Structure 1
Amino acid sequence: MHTTTSNASLLERMAGVKLLALDVDGVLSDGRLYFQADDMETKAFHTLDGQGLKLLQQSGVSVALITGRESPMVTRRAEALGIHHLHQGIKRKLSVLQQLGQELGVALEQMAYCGDDLPDLAPIHQCGVGITVPNAPPYIREHADWVTERQGGHGAVREICDALLQARGQWDAIVSRYLNDQA
């Protein structure tokens, strides 16, 4: 199912989002892993996604990264973006979301989750807004409320952030701040 943000029910749920949780590989990055001869792993992150995540956090929406792998690059990226809810090496992502929801006082219905593979299926299905990217397999896309236009690692997260800010009625004020050089 490929749902756009013109769906009224989806927009209403997006307006109530208090926490955006993201998988990393395949969503915040393009999913490819690069290993150097010295066994160092590298990843590439899109700057548009970073700006979107900063804007979303400034608007009052919490952000969490929940990934099955452990990577120092993900730690560095989270720190650079001011993301305090970083969970690495996680196999059961829904359990982490439920625990995080209890800590923050946020129900699953007030969460948006974006993932691209089987470990992401339960959060996509149970959060208020389940999102995936077009590079996800069809059996993941069919369970999502929304499939982004942009690929993971290529601005998909920015697309999500912008849509959430628009649904919350905050987008025009953000653009105005930048137009007036007051950001």
Structure 2
Amino acid sequence: MSKARAKKIKVILFDVDGVLTDGTIWIVPSHGRGGPVDAKALEAVADQGGYSISSPDFTESKGFHAHDGTGITLARLAGLKTGLITKRMSQVVALRARDLKIDHVYQGQADKLSAMEKIAAAEGVKPAEIAFLGDDIVDLPVMRKCGLAMAVKNSRPEVLKEAHYVTPSKGGEGAARDAVEYILRAQGRLKKIVDAYVESRPAAQKSSV
């Protein structure tokens, strides 16, 4: 049944903490490079029920897995739209999203379902054509409405119970790659997209010389 759902997917969305990362949040000194706190930005995040580290002396850091980055690139090559929906707000997530050319980034979102609905409207797709990968109970409203609800291996029990698909890998250890490959495999396109990725590498390297 989950494979039938995966065949319809046109958009794949991810939570960040515990999905693209292992859930660890590092608070590290900014060494004077933190800059002033943007009160208006913090107020906007708070209005949406989100939160972020707000200090000129400390900054938030996270670790991302390279396999997930390649997985998101494969999704893009396949024509799938990608997006992040997270309750926290941090510059490192914005930078990672930019580097991976992620189409939609919603930070500071307590109401993740509303963010999903905005993405669906922007892309002109139905909820049945959206997949979401989460790990905690804040993700359940989206998982209950999207076409393919996915959970990382070490998700909370309530989340695992409602997932159509559970990744073999834990969050931050290649789970997003698992999710992308599962969808592309169900659509019969994985090998073709992997071959296209491999063939594009020499051209990319040559153009950068």
TM-score between both structures, scaled by the size of structure 2:
0.79
Other structure's SS at 1:69 match: coil
Tell me which amino acid in the other structure corresponds to 1:65.
L
The residue matched to 1:57 in structure 2 has which SS? helix
Equivalent of residue 53 in structure 1, options 72, 96, 116 = 72
Comparing 81-90 and 132-141, the one that deviates more: 132-141
Deviation at 1:182, TM superposition (A): 4.6
Could you tell me which of 83, 86, 90 is aligned with 2:105? 86
- 2:63 maps to 44
* Amino acid in structure 2 at the alignment position of 1:161: V
Aligned residues: 174
Deviates more, 1:169-178 or 1:146-155: 169-178
Aligned residue runs from structure 1 range 62-101, under 5 A: 62-101=81-120
Q: Which runs of 4+ in 1 moved over 4 A?
A: none
Report the alpha carbon displacement of residue 129 of structure 1 after superposing the two structures with TM. Answer: 0.5
Summarize the Cα distance change of 1:125–1:40 in structure 2 as closer, same or farther, 3 Å threshold: same
1:5-154 map, 5 Å: 9-38=1-30, 39-154=58-173
Percent identity for Structure 1 against Structure 2: 36
Counterparts of 1:49 and 1:131, CA distance in 2:
15
Q: Displacement of 1:178 after TM fit? A: 5.6
Q: Where in structure 2 are there 5+ consecutive unaligned residues?
A: 31-57, 202-209
Q: Is the 8 A contact 2:153 2:168 kept in 1?
A: yes
Query: 1:45, 1:141 → 2: CA distance?
Result: 22
Rounded to whole Å, the distance in 2 between the matches of 1:176 and 1:60 is 15
How far does residue 106 in structure 1 lie from its aligned partner after superposition?
0.8
Q: Which residue of the other structure, out of 169, 176, 193, is the alignment partner of 1:157?
A: 176
- 2:131 touches 2:147 (CA, 8 Å); kept in 1? yes
**Which residue type is aligned with residue 89 of structure 1?**
G
Q: Residues of 2 paired with 1:142 and 1:170: CA distance?
A: 28
TM-score by length of 1: 0.90
Distance 2:91 2:197 in 1: 33
CA distance in 1, matches of 2:191, 2:153: 28
> How far, CA to CA, are the matches of 1:172 and 1:140 in structure 2?
30
Q: 1: CA distance between counterparts of 2:75 and 2:86? A: 20
> Larger Cα Rg: Structure 1 or Structure 2?
2
Supply the AA of the counterpart residue of 2:163: A
Structure 1 position 46, deviation (Å): 0.4
**C-alpha displacement of 1:176:** 3.4
Unaligned runs of 5+ in 1: 1-8
* Cα distance change, pair 123–34 in 1 and its aligned pair in 2 (3 A): same
